[in-house]
Amino acid sequence: DAGITQSPRHKVTETGTPVTLRCHQTENHRYMYWYRQDPGHGLRLIHYSYGVKDTDKGEVSDGYSVSRSKTEDFLLTLESATSSQTSVYFCAIKNSTGKLNSPLHFGNGTRLTVT
Amino acid sequence: AQKITQTQPGMFVQEKEAVTLDCTYDTSDPSYGLFWYKQPSSGEMIFLIYQGSYDQQNATEGRYSLNFQKARKSANLVISASQLGDSAMYFCAMREGGYSSASKIIFGSGTRLSIRP
């Protein structure tokens, strides 16, 4: 398995509180991604990063911010959690060695419940 | 705008039969790539197969093949001789852009495949 660790694996938080999810990789890959998975919606891209301090918005970025100060860490922050952000969050990484067919490798997911 | 559509929320197939999972896409970029992933009930995401927009032949990986029809913007996954272990969610995904792009990758809503013994 690609070296990707998501923490925490499970979290329950209250509406209005800030939450930070961490994705850590040991592969030195350039690209990192945050997705959320909800029934009927598949995986939706929240934010992605193409290098240290280089990030861009995805399809559902409202209410989320990210930071990447080191190659190995990509943090996802919910500034003020809402019940609509209850979801399973997946981090993924992608090699950047110039192969267009390089696939995403996923972490095990973080199950977040906002009450 | 980049878009991926999977129109089959769920499918039931008899074991040993072939199955086709539909995927259509929309992009204005001439350089793109299409991926298929499998997600079993355990939750992990497993990469299955890739097709590049400039690839001349349809991709194949074991029992998986990709029926790529560029003019119709479709990239259907074909699983031959289905097995009980193929029961899972299947996602189609698209990467827009070539080597110089920032590699944004989006997914479809998925198809839940159930194999009957």
Q: Which of B116, B50, B47 is nearest to B87 (CA)?
A: B116
Instruction: Report B:33-72 residues touching A (Cβ under 8 A).
Output: 33, 35, 37, 43-45, 47, 50, 52
Contact B45 A50 (CB under 8 A): no
Q: Which of B6, B7, B103, B107 is nearest to B47 (CA)?
A: B107
What gap in Å lies between CA A111 and CA A67, rounded to an integer? Answer: 20
- Give the count of Cβ contacts less than 8 A between chain A and B: 65
Q: Which two tokens stand for residue A67?
A: 């930071």
What gap in Å lies between CA B20 and CA B23, rounded to an integer? Answer: 10
What gap in Å lies between CA B95 and CA B29, rounded to an integer? Answer: 10
Q: Does B3 touch chain A (CB under 8 A)?
A: no
Distance from CA of A91 to the nearest CA of B (A): 11
pLDDT value at residue B108: 95
CB B111 within 8 A of CB B90: yes
Is the per-residue pLDDT at B62 higher than 90?
A: yes
When CB atoms are compared, the residue of B9, B47, B103 closest to A50 is B103
Contact B33 A101 (CB under 8 A): yes
* Number of residues in chain B: 117
Please report, as a single letter, which amino acid is at residue A86. T
pLDDT value at residue A98: 60
How large is the C-alpha radius of gyration of chain B? Answer: 14
Is the per-residue pLDDT at B24 higher than 60?
A: yes
Angle at A46 between CA B34 and CA A64, to 5 degrees: 175
Distance from CA of B5 to the nearest CA of A (A): 10
Q: B65-80, pLDDT tens digit by residue?
A: 999 999 999 999 999 9
What gap in Å lies between CA B92 and CA B15, rounded to an integer? Answer: 22
pLDDT value at residue A109: 96
Contact B105 A104 (CB under 8 A): yes
Stretch B102-116: mean pLDDT: 91
Q: A6-51, pLDDT tens digit by residue?
A: 999 999 999 999 999 999 999 999 899 999 999 888 999 999 998 8
Is the per-residue pLDDT at B1 higher than 80?
A: no
Contact B98 A41 (CB under 8 A): no
CB B25 within 8 A of CB B73: yes
Contact B44 A106 (CB under 8 A): yes
Chain A CB contacts of B26 under 8 Å are: none
Chain B residue closest in CA terms to A59: B106
CB B96 within 8 A of CB B1: no
Chain A residue closest in CA terms to B2: A59
Contact A58 B35 (CB under 8 A): no
When CB atoms are compared, the residue of A41, A44, A98 closest to B99 is A98
pLDDT value at residue B50: 94
